[in-house]
Amino acid sequence: MFHYLITPGFWLSLFSVTLVQIALGADNLIVITIIATKLPRHQRVRAINLGLILAMVFRIILLALVSWILDAATAVFLRFDTTVFGWLRLQGGLSWKAIVLTAGGLFLIWKGVKELRLKSKGVEQEVPPASRLAQVVALIVGLNLLFSIDSILSVVGMTDHFIVMAGSVVISVALMIAFVTPLSRFLAANPDFEILGLFVLLFIGFVLFLEGGHVAGVVVNGSPVPYIPEWIVIFTLMLMFSVDLYQNWLERRREKAPIELRRRKK
């Protein structure tokens, strides 16, 4: 374990997974700040910090539960060899791990497409009413747990190491607590970062779906379902975020650049 902690792959994986956690939590963070503004000024920071810390603890517990299920439920309980539509031959063996991965991948794809449709129509998430400190904290914890399903499945699709999963949750929550105001302003001013997070959902959903088929040993018309290695997933995500940040920097540079006027020649 210690040898893994000092490898460059561990830190790259931790960085990329944490970045995905922040991207997927963009909408949630903005809603949290809106909920907290309904409290008196001296209670807002306390409510946000307490809510995020409690949500972090529950999210790590859920991660541990999902990781345990994926490690323990590997036994094949059903073998199949069937033909669908008269031309599609499917072979493989079902296990609970394969079912969880495949169902999780389909859920992320469904969630990503649904959220992209809502964003394209300009539909924003409704903020539940709350006026007391306990109510606000409960709402923050509840929203974090409600929207943690996609982030948990995304983390599972990116890495098999629980220490990376838990570390990314702790770091992302710590960053949100330390920079909640500037982070919420940045995310509100850069909605493209949130859209990128939804495309990450689609990509990770596709990876999980393929991994579920690979774990089940599914063979489609003689071709086995491929497995996408962790380094390819991380490299693709880092490339996506790098291109988005570069485009964002380029657009702001163009906005600040003075307009050059050409003089008419006499």
- Encode pLDDT of 2-48 as tens digits: 565 667 777 777 888 887 777 776 666 666 776 776 677 777 778 87
Tokens of 92: 């493989």
Closest by CA position to 143, among listed 155, 153, 133, 135: 135
pLDDT value, residue 254: 74
Burial of 59 by CB count in 10 Å (0-12 exposed, 13-18 middle, 19+ buried)? buried
Q: Where are the domains of the chain?
A: 13-254
Give the integer Cα–Cα distance in Å for 262 and 260.
7
Per-residue pLDDT band for 1 (boundaries 50, 70, 90) equals low
Length of the chain: 266
Closest by CA position to 201, among listed 152, 144, 140, 146: 152
Asked whether residue 176 carries a pLDDT value surpassing 60, the answer given is: yes
pLDDT value, residue 82: 86
Burial of 137 by CB count in 10 Å (0-12 exposed, 13-18 middle, 19+ buried)? buried
Percent of the chain with pLDDT over 90: 0
Are the beta carbons of 218 and 99 closer than 8 angstroms? no
Tokens of 262: 């050409």
Asked whether residue 260 carries a pLDDT value surpassing 60, the answer given is: no
Give the integer Cα–Cα distance in Å for 93 and 99.
10
Are the beta carbons of 232 and 62 closer than 8 angstroms? no
**157 contacts: CB under 8 Å, gap ≥ 6:** 101, 104, 105, 108, 204, 205, 207, 208, 211, 233
pLDDT value, residue 132: 72
Asked whether residue 183 carries a pLDDT value surpassing 70, the answer given is: no
Percent of the chain with pLDDT over 70: 79
- Among the residue ranges 75-84, 115-124, 148-157, 215-224, the one predicted with the least confidence is 115-124
pTM of full prediction above 0.85? no
Asked whether residue 257 carries a pLDDT value surpassing 70, the answer given is: no
Asked whether residue 58 carries a pLDDT value surpassing 80, the answer given is: yes
Q: Which residue has the higher pLDDT, 162 or 8?
A: 162
